[in-house]
Structure 1
Amino acid sequence: MVVVLLLGLCLPAIAEDMPECRPLQPGKVEYEGPSRFDRGVLWEIRSLQGGTSHLFGTIHVADDEIVNLPAPVNARFEASRTFVMEVVPEPEEIMEMAAMMYVSDGETLDALISAPLFQRVVEILAAYNLPEVAIASMRPWSAYLTMSYPADMRPVLDLRLLEQAQASGMETHGLETLLEQGSIFSDMPTADQVRLLADTACHHDLLREDMEAMKRLYLKRDLKGMFVYGQRQAFADNSLYEQLSERLLTGRNGVMTERMQPYLEDGGAFIAVGAMHLPGKDGILNRLALQGYAVERVY
């Protein structure tokens, strides 16, 4: 979900065709927190009860250089008894989520946005094997979220870990539900959903470059760099993204920190969450440290 912070510069040709497009400007970079949490994707967490677990920061892509775990990470993963991730997708929830993403009655997407913007959305989502008739039935947030991620049908890192954990007989648990994640967007006013979709469609040609930059920072294990990079651009009125960041990162950091504690107390858990949830004063690492957990970087 970090892609909401990765919009590139607006292309003039696109802005001429689509009146919904708006330019970006340099953002106000804000980062606070203990410097010891600025780097590292794998952390040992020891509870006051003596349980030892590991917290792993992921990036939601399927590139071989990322899904093939480094030796120190793989060793801790294979030695764990329990695997915990943001969401374990359950069949029933997947069906409910699909129903949330599409309209069964009411205004279709092509009626909510301009014809040039709709055609741009159709062009982008064609890479995801979505026909125009299906795209027209998508809710704005659904189209926005889909195009925010690479059109790569292979399992991303988090799902690869889940597959390996299930194959090895580990217990598997989720810190959130799929519907909780989806409601962050579905509960937004339609006008805000359309704004997110328009911004992403207008800037989509450079979104890939931003993702490549984030992957390079991730491979360097530079958590602070990832966090700062995501703030480098902003709109003149950036309030929507500030609110969304509060819900996507800060709010969920608190929820996931609380919900992972039973697994940390038991020990033997390998917990995987998006890397952007780890750093900063409001990140999970600092939250755990402030609650008395011993937090040490492994890799």
Structure 2
Amino acid sequence: MRLLLTALFLLLPAALSAACSGTDLRTTLSDAQKAEIAQRLEGVPFSNGIYWTATRGTRTVHVIGTLHMDDPRFDPITDALTPVINNADHLLVEADAESQAALQKAIAERPEMLFLTGETLIDLMPQQDWIRLAEAARVRGIPPFMAAKFQPWYLSLMLSMSPCTLQSMTANKNGLDMRIMALADAAGVPTGSLEPYETIFSLFNQDPMEEQIELLKLGIIPVTASENASHTLIEQYFDEEVIAALETSRVTTRAHFDMSPAEFDALFDEFMDLINAQRNLSWIDPIEATDGDSIVVAAGALHLGGEQGILNLLAQRGYTLERQSF
């Protein structure tokens, strides 16, 4: 996703300047919300932890959950991971430098990858929904006239993040994934991609236009609520509460939508299945096919845990998993 967001901001006239702030929503949870989160976490495999090793025979896969934005807390973490990267035979990331260049070239040659070619979202949505959507785009530094022309699935990715988070992911090149790639480059460790650059496009474009527009509803929440959700997710990342972060986001965001809890959960789960679960399933074969006894896989932290997370999928392939300090 970071690759896609970077490509988007290359197209915008100016990036939004926003100061990151927010409240940790864990301090505001009701007893009912706490109980629901606890219930949803029951039996979920590998729900905690950011750095794990998966070992089978002489082969070890170091699985590191990343955050695609900078934070000073990454300084000591980067130092601790340096020998792991230096001694690796291969690094796999969501998008290596070659994939990033290929995507930018493809967008320049085929703008329909990102842009609607006929009617715009103004034509395709009820007026009141568009007005709210346009404001959500504007506060993220995306001019409404441009937002109206984006493929709805792509705009939904933009609006799923707060203005500050969106800017940080696109303007700052020092998130943990980028730090790890820089370490590998300095050490001469080959770096490859877990998936082709067009994967996200294929996954989202398989949905009818009506369903893509429905997903856009998940991006129309007040800026303050969005900033609070982002701040909470970041704090839970450093607390290594990966799946809890996802479920905290679910239960605290529902109230901002005029839909039933069941309808909201269906949209939420559909979104996560597209950007997370389906991709995880396609990553295991490339991991297995990569040569070497010491492989590092660095991907967004939400890809690690859960039934269809990378860790559980590796366990199903006969690997022994062990959590490492982070």
TM-score scaled by length of structure 1: 0.78
Q: Please state if 1:39 is matched with 2:41.
A: no
Match for 1:249 among 276, 300, 303? 276
Letter in 2 for 1:59: L
Q: How many residues align?
A: 273
8 Å Cα contact 2:86/2:189 also seen in 1: no
Q: 1:1-299 to 2 correspondence within 5 Å?
A: 30-31=40-41, 33=43, 37-48=46-57, 50-66=58-74, 69-88=77-96, 89-97=99-107, 99=111, 100-103=113-116, 105-149=117-161, 150=165, 151-152=167-168, 153-155=171-173, 156-232=175-251, 234=254, 235-237=261-263, 238-263=265-290, 266-299=292-325
2:236 aligned partner, one-letter code: L
Output the amino acid matched with 1:106.
G
Seen in structure 2, the aligned counterparts of structure 1 residues 129 and 240 have a Cα distance that, compared at 3 Å, is: closer
Distance 1:162 1:97, change over 3 A: farther
Aligned-partner residue type, residue 188 of structure 1: D
In the aligned structure 2, how far is the partner of 1:230 from the partner of 1:260? 30
- Give the counterpart letter for 1:197 in structure 2: L
Q: Matched residues in 2 for 1:228 and 1:133: separation?
A: 34
Q: Which residue of 2 aligns with 1:18?
A: none
Q: Which stretches in structure 2 are left out of the alignment for 5+ residues?
A: 2-31, 255-260
- Return the alpha-carbon distance in structure 2 between the equivalents of residues 187 and 60 of structure 1: 26
Contact 1:56-1:272 at 8 Å conserved across structures: yes
Overall identity of the aligned pairs, in %:
24
C-alpha distance after superposition, 1:223-281 (max 9, x if no partner): 34224324425533133333333333332222212221123x62222111121222233
| TM superposition shift of 1:87 | 2.4
1:67–1:258 Cα change, 3 Å = farther
Partner-residue secondary structure (3-state), 2:262: coil
Q: Answer yes or no: is the 8 Å Cα contact 2:65–2:300 preserved in 1.
A: yes
Q: Which has the higher contact order (CA 8 A, sep 6+)?
A: 1
Which amino acid is the alignment partner of residue 48 of structure 2?
R
Give 2:80's aligned amino acid. Answer: P
CA apart distance, 1:204: 4.7
- What are the superposed Cα offsets for residues 181-209 of structure 1, whole Å, 9 maximum, x if unpaired? 22222332222222222331235541221
**C-alpha separation in 2, matches of 1:220 and 1:199:** 26
Deviations 1:158-217 (A, max 9, x none): 234334433442211111122112222233222222222233123554122111111111
Q: CA deviation at 1:128?
A: 4.7
Query: CA RMSD for the aligned pairs?
Result: 2.9
Give the structure with the higher percent helix: 2
Relative to structure 1, is the Cα distance of residues 39 and 214 closer, same or farther in structure 2, using a 3 angstrom cutoff? same
Residues 59 and 293, structure 2, Cα contact 8 Å, conserved in 1: yes
TM-score (structure 2 length as normaliser)? 0.72
How far apart in 1 are the matches of 2:49 and 2:199? 28
- For 1:222 and 1:185, the matched residues in 2 are separated by 28
